Amino acid sequence: MKQMRYILTRPCLQEGTLRLQKYLETTFPESGPAVFVDDRGREHRVEVDRAAGVVRGLQPLYHDANLGVNDVLMITPLEPGRYSVEAIVKPHAPITTPRPEHQRPPEPRRVVVTATPHVREVRTQYPQSQPQAAPAGPGQPSGRAERPASPPPSLPEAPSREPLVPVTEQAESTRPAPRGATPGPLPETPEAQLAELASLTGYRLSYAAPGVARLAAELGEFGYVVHVALSEAACRPGWDRGADCRAVLTAEGQQLGTPRLTREALSALLEHARLAPLSPLDLRPYWEAGDLDLKAAAGVSELVGAHLAQRGAFSFVLLTLAAQPAHSIIGLPRLAERLGSGVNPAELRSILDTLSRAPFLALAPLPGGQYLLRSGVSEMLRDLAEYADGVRRRIRPATPAQAEPDRTPVLS
């Protein structure tokens, strides 16, 4: 039988799944239970779901083989529903920079004993008026007037500040809350859940008719409209008129002859939107599929997991760079060795290139795959936070876009 090669991704390891790519469709021709036999002869029960395009239940296999990102699975069909699986672990990046045999003596450090004022200090220090010379007394010649006693040293005057303007309650209410700081549990009613989902993902929520929610993605030529009937009773004739997609809100176990959105899937979508940014373009294929249940929401979970994995890889690289002193040389092979299998080489190069550009400017590329660390990671993050705070203070609240005319007629 033909042996197939599959490269593991971070979502696969997190979910314990294997994506049925196009070239694997003939290897897994039918849905249902299957058995994977590893190179040690141990059997692993898995579930093949061709409708969702995934094989589930591989978490024990990944754990036993200690697999990481970019490791390889060689899959060989033995008989219907039974496969031989061989794991190939990628080697770590070789160390190309020679390590010194003997520790070098510490180099002498330059210590700054005098320093000029910073430009901001110069701007905030105002010249004090020079004291006038005391008038010469009758017994003293004018050319030899006594020097007045020097006044006691005083603290430099603080720079003048503009008066603080109190923030009104209305301004506080219009200020957008951070995505990760969405408080409390999920709303209980479907109307409240749809309202929060629309707020987080960019839909404009309205109601085309009683019991029919209208989610409009106002994205120009990429826009579309979804009608969600909150109950079967709301599915009156013409309830979906003017909509590109439609769905009826039902329970997970309830099957209808029309496209549906299950309450469990709506809760899962809301949780995913709280974790990572989702847009109407990300959700459009799931609306068009016509059955947005928990299995479909698992696909959104993979998308969110990919966002979080990218953020985690970026944080992993930053924490590793934080162990390096400022103004030091960083070699790409040595850094890849320290990161291990947590970040693949292509992803590492992309992160380092990002850190070399504005607004980070933490690294300077050098020949031979090396980088100069311009400043410490802590200092860089502090400067970046000040920069972001300054930009945020200059941002004016965005005015809502002009709404398009309602495409859905009022149902009688």
CATH number at residue 31: 2.40.330.10
- How many distinct structural domains can be found in the chain? 3
Phi, psi of 405 (to 5 degrees): -60, 145
Q: In this structure, is residue 366 part of a structural domain?
A: yes
Q: In this structure, is residue 57 part of a structural domain?
A: yes
Nearest to 355 by CA among 384, 328, 334, 327: 384
Q: In this structure, is residue 316 part of a structural domain?
A: no
In this prediction, residue 107 has a pLDDT band, given cuts at 50, 70 and 90, of low
Paired residues of 228 in beta bridges:
213, 247
Q: In this structure, is residue 161 part of a structural domain?
A: no
Instruction: Among 257, 276, 306, identify where a domain stops.
Output: 306
Same domain (yes/no): 193, 273: yes
Paired residues of 212 in beta bridges:
209, 229
Q: In this structure, is residue 247 part of a structural domain?
A: yes
Q: What is the DSSP letter of 66?
A: T
From CA 340, how far away is CA 338, in angstroms rounded?
5
Same domain (yes/no): 82, 14: yes
CB 164 within 8 A of CB 133: no
Same domain (yes/no): 209, 293: yes
From CA 121, how far away is CA 116, in angstroms rounded?
10
* pTM, full prediction: 0.52
Q: Tokens in use for 385? A: 């936070």
Q: In this structure, is residue 18 part of a structural domain?
A: yes
Q: What is the DSSP letter of 222?
A: G
Give every strand in the sheet of 54-56, ordered side by side.
Answer: 4-7, 72-79, 82-88, 32-37, 43-49, 54-56, 17-19
Q: What is the largest CA-CA distance in the chain?
A: 122
Position 383 pLDDT exceeds 90: yes
Domain span at residue 49 reads 4-88
More confident residue, 179 or 171: 179
- pLDDT tens for 123-176 read 444 455 444 544 444 444 444 444 444 444 444 444 444 443 343 333 333 343
